[in-house]
């Protein structure tokens, strides 16, 4: 049983309620976690508010040291964190070891560097005899709500910049995958953050709702579904809370006639099936020049079928389980729906006959833009191939959905690549490569894929308010 972390101390939920978290590789209960209710939310927000002024005034170089220490502690406990992440989320252990844990540590280091470099500017205002400068100040108390697909990394994407900018935080991990965040918060406490600066509430949607609605929260940073993102816009409306939203996606991958097809197949298999497609930037609809569409589809189907499906802790596994029974059913319903609509299921698209939530990746040919499988976010191992004839029609097709998180382009022609990159409305474009995040650059979406950006200098905008300070330098008052 794991507890809540509020004001520097661990405690059960006020109601005593808890919830189980399962191992998706076999459906067994790993442990239970305290389920925070409104009284706990109130206490956590109170603790964060009480700590806010002192933390905002905490010297920047000391904030930096704390964040750096978190990165060191993550590395010192890397294997334990990787195993927890894999067991709780189904992530392949290799991915947890090589991507999630190092990516989390790197994020803390990157934003440790920012602490001493968050600065205002002296701006040349038109008024004579006036000194004007801007200050970047913390927003205040930040509610950080994270999803189940990359629990550790996404927690770091929010915790590190929020703390670097001098905010106090309450993190609420997803109910399916709380364990690595609980351990991360233990390590943050060990690093020496003052009480109340970092608080943890475990729980489900009800906990998230109560946290988002609390009037003492100044900012919500959320990664998850577009539907919940929309509800947070309403939750934030009363107090006009600041909001950063990283929501759904349905990234198009465009494979031009001149693409290196074998490289495109390898890259798109990973782009589509990394973490079983449970990635918001996953390549999820494939526009292939009609001349190459059959060859691409066959090679994708062969590649997908060759991936060994198994538990995350088996080094031979290339595809782990989906996160939950509920999610597997949702993926399967999309696959059945596509078959019903007339798409041609070339391979996979079935539950694997073993305990846990394993699913064979589905490859579809003959998909048209009107089919749900080409429009809706599946968040699973599904590869719909659509043919195109006219490169000029591509931009309109790629931009036709409400999503705009990522897109991918496979071509040998630089002008095709960069013309498309400029015209596709998405927050990240990957040319001849898989989707990758990096602390140094931007992450976030156009349109219904979100509001604001995470990572890089953009995260500093997300976690600070800008204040202009005016001083009259002339004689008398103005």
Active-site residues, by number, are 246, 280
Ramachandran class of 458: left when φ > 0, alpha when ψ lies in -120 to 50, beta otherwise: alpha
Q: Is 225 in the site for ligand ADP (CB under 6 A)?
A: yes
- Measured CA to CA, the distance from residue 53 to residue 175 in angstroms comes to 31
**Which of residues 170 and 212 has its CB atom nearest to ligand ADP in the complex?**
212
Sequence-distant (6+) residues with CB within 8 A of 209 are 231, 235
Site for ligand ADP contains 174 (CB under 6 A): yes
CB nearer ligand ADP, residue 152 or residue 174? 174
CA gap 135, 343 in Å, rounded:
56
- Applying CB under 6 A, among 88, 106, 175, 454 the residue interacting with ligand ADP is 175
Q: How far is the CB of 460 from ligand ADP (least distance, A)?
A: 24
Per rule CB under 6 A, is residue 208 in the interface with ligand ADP? yes
Say whether residue 209 binds ligand ADP (CB under 6 A).
Answer: yes
Stretch that binds ligand ADP, among 46-54, 90-98, 221-229, 464-472 (CB under 6 A): 221-229
Q: Candidates 94, 102, 120, 205: give the one binding ligand ADP (CB under 6 A).
A: 205
- The residue (of 228 and 272) whose beta carbon lies closer to ligand ADP is 228
Contact positions with ligand ADP (CB under 6 A) in 129-148: 145-147
CB atoms under 10 Å from CB of 340, counted, come to 10
Residue 204, classified by CB atoms within 10 Å of its CB into exposed (0-12), middle (13-18) or buried (19+), is middle
- Closer Cβ to ligand ADP, 212 or 401, answer by number: 212
Q: State which of residues 189, 231, 399, 442 lies at the interface with ligand ADP (CB under 6 A).
A: 231
Under the binding rule (CB under 6 A), the answer on residue 385 touching ligand ADP is: no
Residue of closest CB approach to ligand ADP: 208
Considering only 12, 204, 366, 456, the residue that binds ligand ADP (CB under 6 A) is 204
Residue 105, Cβ neighbours under 10 Å: how many?
23
Site for ligand ADP in 337-356 (CB under 6 A): none
Judged by CB under 6 A, does residue 279 bind ligand ADP?
no
Separation CA 44–CA 264 (nearest Å): 48
Q: Report the alpha-carbon distance of residue 235 to residue 212 in Å, rounded.
A: 6
Determine the Cα angle at 225 with ends 164 and 84, to 5°: 60
Residue 330 interacts with ligand ADP (CB under 6 A): yes or no = no
| Residue 212 in contact with ligand ADP, rule: CB under 6 A | yes
The DSSP code for 96 is I
Region of 103-111, 169-177, 250-258, 365-373 interacting with ligand ADP (CB under 6 A) = 169-177
Measured CA to CA, the distance from residue 150 to residue 35 in angstroms comes to: 21
Q: What CA–CA distance (Å, rounded) separates 411 from 415? A: 9
228 binds ligand ADP (CB under 6 A): yes
Query: What residues does 471 pair with on adjacent strands?
Result: 131
3-class state of residue 55 by DSSP: helix
Q: Provide the minimum distance between the beta carbon of 443 and ligand ADP in the complex, in angstroms, as a whole number.
A: 16
| Rounded least distance, CB 214 to ligand ADP, Å | 11
Q: How far is the CB of 94 from ligand ADP (least distance, A)?
A: 23
For ligand ADP, the closer of residues 91 and 416 by Cβ is 91
Q: Are 78 and 101 spatial neighbours (Cβ–Cβ below 8 Å)? A: yes
Q: Does 35 bind ligand ADP (CB under 6 A)?
A: no
- Window contacting ligand ADP (CB under 6 A); options: 203-211, 341-349, 406-414, 470-478: 203-211
Sheet holding 141-145: strands in order across?
A: 9-11, 4-6, 198-200, 168-172, 141-145, 219-223, 242-246, 450-451
Applying CB under 6 A, which of residues 224, 267, 348, 444 lies at the interface with ligand ADP? 224
452 binding ligand ADP? (CB under 6 A): no
d(CA 349, CA 345): 8
**195 is a contact residue toward ligand ADP (CB under 6 A):** no
Report if residue 85 touches ligand ADP, rule: CB under 6 A.
no
- Sheet with 283-289: strands ordered across: 344-347, 362-365, 382-388, 283-289, 251-255, 406-410, 428-431
- Least distance to ligand ADP, CB of residue 223, Å: 7
* Among candidate residues 425, 436, 434, 433, the one with its CA nearest the CA of residue 400: 425
Question: Where does this chain bind ligand ADP (CB under 6 A)?
Answer: 145-147, 172, 174-175, 204-205, 208-209, 212, 224-225, 228, 231
């Amino acid at each position: 049983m794991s507890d809540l972390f509020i004001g520097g101390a661990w405690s059960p939920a006020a109601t005593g309620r808890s919830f189980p978290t399962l191992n998706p590789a076999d459906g067994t209960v790993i442990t239970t976690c305290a389920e925070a209710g409104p009284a706990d939310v109130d206490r956590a927000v109170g603790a964060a508010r009480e700590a806010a002024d002192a933390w905002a005034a905490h010297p920047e170089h000391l904030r930096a040291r704390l964040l750096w220490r978190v990165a060191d502690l993550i590395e010192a406990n890397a294997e334990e964190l990787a195993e927890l992440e894999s067991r709780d989320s189904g992530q392949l252990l290799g991915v947890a070891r090589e991507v999630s844990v190092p990516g989390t540590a790197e994020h803390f280091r990157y934003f440790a560097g920012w602490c001493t470099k968050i600065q205002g500017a002296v701006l040349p205002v038109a008024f004579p005899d006036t000194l004007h400068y801007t200050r970047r100040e913390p927003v205040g108390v930040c509610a950080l709500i994270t999803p189940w697909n990359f629990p550790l990394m996404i927690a770091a994407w929010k915790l590190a910049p929020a703390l670097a900018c001098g905010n106090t935080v309450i993190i609420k991990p997803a109910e399916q995958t709380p364990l690595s965040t609980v351990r991360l918060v233990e390590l943050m406490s060990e690093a020496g953050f003052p009480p109340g600066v970092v608080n943890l509430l475990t729980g489900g949607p009800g906990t998230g709702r109560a946290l988002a609605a609390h009037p003492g929260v100044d900012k919500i940073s959320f990664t998850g579904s577009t539907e919940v993102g929309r509800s947070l816009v309403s939750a934030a409306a009363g107090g006009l809370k600041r909001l950063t939203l990283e929501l759904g996606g349905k990234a198009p991958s465009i494979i031009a006639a001149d693409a290196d097809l074998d490289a495109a197949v390898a890259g798109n298999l990973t782009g589509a099936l990394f973490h079983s497609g449970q990635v918001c930037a996953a390549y999820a609809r494939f526009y292939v020049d009609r001349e190459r569409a059959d060859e691409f589809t066959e090679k994708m189907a062969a590649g997908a079928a060759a991936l060994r499906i198994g538990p995350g802790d088996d080094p031979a596994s290339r595809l782990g389980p989906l996160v939950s029974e509920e999610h597997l059913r949702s993926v399967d319903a999309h696959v059945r729906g596509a078959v019903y609509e007339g798409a041609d299921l070339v391979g996979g698209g079935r539950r694997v006959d073993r305990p846990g939530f394993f699913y064979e990746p589905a490859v579809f040919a003959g998909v048209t833009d009107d089919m749900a499988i080409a429009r809706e976010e599946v968040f699973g191992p599904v590869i719909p191939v659509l043919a195109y004839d006219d490169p000029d029609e591509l931009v309109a097709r790629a931009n036709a959905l409400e999503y705009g998180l990522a897109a991918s382009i496979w071509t040998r022609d630089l002008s095709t690549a960069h013309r498309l990159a400029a015209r596709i409305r998405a927050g990240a474009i990957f040319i001849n490569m898989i989707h990758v995040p990096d602390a140094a650059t931007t992450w976030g979406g156009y349109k219904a894929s979100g509001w604001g950006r995470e990572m890089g200098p953009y995260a500093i905008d997300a976690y600070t308010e800008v204040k202009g300070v005016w001083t009259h330098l002339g004689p008398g008052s103005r």
